[in-house]
Amino acid sequence: MNEIVLTERLKGDFKSLPVTIQKKLKKQVKFLAENPKHRSLQIHRIEGTRYWELYVDIAYRCVFRQEGDIYYLLAVGPHKIIDEFSRK
């Protein structure tokens, strides 16, 4: 099983999400820990960066960084959150 590290930013983002999205994120994090290739995650690199994104649902994304079997979850929010990380 992969290790999941929740950053302070992600914890803050999580608190501001609607409860339905919080539940979806918890489910997706479980999939990430057990099987990062799970098709509902739709993981892909944010072009030109060292960051990756996974789908929480059609409108929400979670941004993370991977080091071996450790996944650092950095931020979660509406799809536009990707713009913030595509510039880093």
In this structure, which amino acid lies at residue 26? K
pLDDT of residue 88: 67
Question: How do residues 65-85 score in pLDDT, each as one tens digit?
Answer: 999 999 999 999 999 999 999
Phi, psi of 19, rounded to the nearest 5 degrees: -55, -40
Tokens of 6: 């929740």
Helix (H, G, I), strand (E, B) or coil at 67: strand
Single out the residue of 9, 74, 23, 10 nearest to residue 46, CA to CA. Answer: 74
Domain boundaries, the chain: 3-86
pLDDT at 11: 98
| List of the chain residues with pLDDT < 50 | none
DSSP-derived pairing of the beta strands 70-78 and 3-6: parallel
User: Residue 47's closest CA among 17, 79, 5, 86?
Assistant: 86
**CATH number, domain 3-86:** 3.30.2310.20
